Amino acid sequence: MAMSRHRSGFPEVLNRVSLHALDSISIHGWTCSLCLGHTEPDANGDCSGSRNAALEAAAPTVQNQKEFTAQPMKYLKLAAILFLGGGIFFLTASTLRQATTFYYSPGEVLDGKAASKANFRLGGRVRDGSLRRAEAGWQFILTDDQAEITVNYTGELPDLFGQGRVAIANGSLNDEGIFLATELLARHDENYLPPER
């Protein structure tokens, strides 16, 4: 039997918190609704009508607020979906926090944290005085104040690249411990102060 529901999709559980239903339903009708499967008393004020009859009476009207008691499974499904969704979200977030690093610092690379990846990003501050021309491009040293790695880069330096500033190089570490960068990005912080006078 096809029943059309006009409250399309809105969680029926919230019907219970609506207050305006109470002033249109007698105490008898309200106590009737506490019985599972019954929604309204029939013409004789009797609550013992069949479940199907009660649901059919309830189906077309939007005013009926007691649908929740007739369909507890829908509410349970919703709760299960929210719980699962929350669980998936927290699992994903915690995995992402561990697994997704945009770049590794030189200390992390030397500790071997980037060993599983052939290609990764190395980020650090360009050590002052380390920038010089190499055979095919540039050579400089990226440091995080605890460790440093020499980087060879073939390509043009970005505008904001500079000694003492942070840069992120994309590439791989060769056997001699030199990082061969295929891509170089300059990273700037949220410091927009004018130059010192």
Q: Which residues bind other proteins (CB under 8 A)?
A: 5-10, 14-15, 62, 85, 89, 93, 96-97, 100-103, 158-161, 165, 168, 183-196
Minimum CB distance to other proteins, residue 112 (Å): 19
CB of 5 or CB of 51, closer to other proteins: 5
- Give the Cβ contact number of residue 142 at 10 Å: 25
- What is the maximum alpha-carbon separation in the chain? 99
* DSSP 8-state assignment for residue 160: T
Minimum CB distance to other proteins, residue 190 (Å): 4
CB of 93 or CB of 118, closer to other proteins: 93
CB of 44 or CB of 61, closer to other proteins: 61
Tracing tokens 């500033």 back to the chain, one arrives at 165
CB of 44 or CB of 191, closer to other proteins: 191
CA dist list (Å): 129 to 45, 142, 177: 93, 11, 20
Minimum CB distance to other proteins, residue 148 (Å): 18
Tracing tokens 């380390």 back to the chain, one arrives at 130
Minimum CB distance to other proteins, residue 100 (Å): 6
**Signed CA dihedral, 149, 155, 161, 162: sign only:** positive
Strand 138-143, strand 166-173: pairing: unpaired
CB of 6 or CB of 133, closer to other proteins: 6
Minimum CB distance to other proteins, residue 126 (Å): 14
**Signed CA dihedral, 147, 152, 153, 159: sign only:** positive
